[in-house]
Amino acid sequence: MTGGHYIGDDCAMPTPEIKICGIREPGSLDAAIRARAAFAGFVFFPRSPRNVTTAEAAALSARAQGRIARVGLFVDADDAMLGEAVAAARLDVLQLHGKETPERAAQLRARFGIPVWKALSVASETDVARADSYAGAVDRVLFDAKTPAGTLPGGMGLSFDWKLVANWKGPVAWGLAGGLTPDNVAQALDLTAAPLVDTSSGVESAPGVKDDDLIAAFCRAVQAR
Ligand SMILES: O=C(O)c1ccccc1N[C@@H]1O[C@H](COP(=O)(O)O)[C@@H](O)[C@H]1O
């Protein structure tokens, strides 16, 4: 379900995997599945307009079972919150979008026994280099844009200079996030060759309101390359 597949000749690049994040409604989940996204993201962060309760996530998770992998997004969450969400929503992946250290990420990976992704906010080469310290501690880093102080640490529709991660070859798997939309994702992929792309606000009609047509258009733009 989560492996990239090849189209065209033997030299073709694998089709990047797609994560649609911030899903709150069954219809949006179905739209992501129909569009062949590999991952559906559920946000467990009360300040976010995309926040879901564990009960809501559990219902979405049951619908997703066997059809799309479930990613739980957390921001500096404590063990109790993580444990409750992992169990209720039967999460397949933990996405850490706060200030979690490599040690904390490794601890959570060992504790829950599922892959851990770490989002890193990027505005400079130094920020990208931070990925090295997560090698061996996480299964993937997600390069995302820095957001203004006092706002959400992600999900703001902001992008960074993609040249900073062009053809990035680091010691850990990676993905690209931040301000990706149906209109710019092909350009982002041309420049970066990211193996996974992650979007949230780029497929919404308003903060927290997913748009099925935009989900389909985003996935088509990725898969058409
Ligand atoms: O989506 C949110 O509300 C959110 C809240 C807190 C941390 C991260 C969040 N979203 C993630 O941010 C990136 C980029 O999002 P966008 O495409 O720019 O809207 C992505 O990984 C989201 O899942």
Q: What residue ranges define each of the domains in the chain, with the CATH number in brackets?
A: 17-223 (3.20.20.70)
CA 154 to ligand 1 center in whole angstroms: 4
What pLDDT score was predicted for residue 12? Answer: 65
pLDDT tens, 67-124? 999 999 999 999 999 999 999 999 999 999 999 999 999 999 999 999 999 999 999 9
Could you tell me where the DSSP H helices lie in the chain? 26-34, 54-64, 79-89, 102-112, 125-129, 185-192, 212-223
pLDDT tens, 161-202? 999 999 999 999 999 999 999 999 999 999 999 999 999 999
Helix axes 79-89 and 102-112, enclosed angle (nearest 10)? 40
Q: Report the C-alpha gap between 225 and 106 in whole angstroms.
A: 35
List, by residue number, the catalytic residues. Answer: 21, 144
Q: What is the ipTM of this complex?
A: 0.98
Question: For ligand 1, atom 2, which residue shows the shortest CA distance?
Answer: 155
Which atom belonging to ligand 1 lies closest to the Cα atom of 142?
21
Mutate which of 21, 122, 151 for ligand 1 pocket (most atoms within 8 A of beta carbon): 21
What pLDDT score was predicted for residue 4? Answer: 45
What pLDDT score was predicted for residue 212? Answer: 98
Q: Which whole number is the average pLDDT over 11-34? A: 93
Angle ∠(168,170,174) on CA atoms, nearest 5:
70
Question: Is the pLDDT confidence value at 10 over 70?
Answer: no
- Ligand 1 close to Cβ of residue 203 (< 6 A): no
- The structure tokens listed for 148 are 């203004």
Cross-strand bridge partners of residue 207: none
Question: Is the pLDDT confidence value at 222 over 80?
Answer: yes
What pLDDT score was predicted for residue 225? Answer: 85
